[in-house]
Chains A and B, each alone.
Chain A
Amino acid sequence: GAVVSQHPSWVICKSGTSVKIECRSLDFQATTMFWYRQFPKQSLMLMATSNEGSKATYEQGVEKDKFLINHASLTLSTLTVTSAHPEDSSFYICSGVLAGQETQYFGPGTRLLVL
């Protein structure tokens, strides 16, 4: 149980284009979803917290106009990297939490490479 999927698993795009990453909870309803990015040899850095039906809360230093998050349903959250640049290349990971619980269940991640 508590399976989270992400799509796509990897994406290569040209600088200036926008990329959308989907995060789905497959067998549970996630009232809260989180988005992280991870650079090589480093731990996960929280970017934003998204609650179903409300605006996402962004961590300090994360541009909300660049990283658009939509949590339209209890099983789907999307992260759109707008006007991507090479410095946005990273490993993006989402997670979901069941209502009333603390444990986060993570997706497999999406590798983004911006040329």
Chain B
Amino acid sequence: EDQVTQSPEALRLQEGESSSLNCSYTVSGLRGLFWYRQDPGKGPEFLFTLYSAGEEKEKERLKATLTKKESFLHITAPKPEDSATYLCALTDSWGKFQFGAGTQVVVTP
């Protein structure tokens, strides 16, 4: 059975304190791994799609990487506006889309 596990559940950072979020997975054939950001009371906002091990993508202070077993979302020098819940999701070879539980990030000034 496919599993998507995110860690930590919650992360509190000082402004400027870089960190990484983890998304580990077991899946029968990965078709795509996705990162989203969700603010309270809003729908998930698309960040990145990764397709194969070794792939990396960047957007402003965020960088996503992918291996055969896990993905990392690196947040470099975060600002308070980076506070959100970050969701990892994937699609397996059957086309099933599955979310992880999310990591709640709080960045304090």
Contact = CB atoms under 8 A, between A and B. Distances in A.
A8 to B, nearest CB: 14
A111 B46 CA distance: 20
Contact of B34 (A44, A93, A103, A107): A103
What range describes how many residues of B lie at the interface? 10 to 19
Interface string A6-46: 10000000000000000000000000001000000011101
A58 interface: no
A108 B91 CA distance: 22
A93 B43 contact: yes
A104 B34 contact: yes
A37 B42 CA distance: 12
Contacts of A109: 41-43
Contacts of B87: 43-44
Contacts of A105: 46
A106 interface: yes
Interface hub of A2, A6, A43, A109 (most chain B Cβ within 10 A): A43
A95 B46 CA distance: 11
Interface stretch (B56-64, B74-82, B93-101): B93-101
Contacts of A4: 43
A106 to B, nearest CB: 4
A104 B97 contact: yes
A102 interface: yes
Interface of B: 31-32, 34, 36, 41-46, 49, 87, 89, 91, 97, 99-102
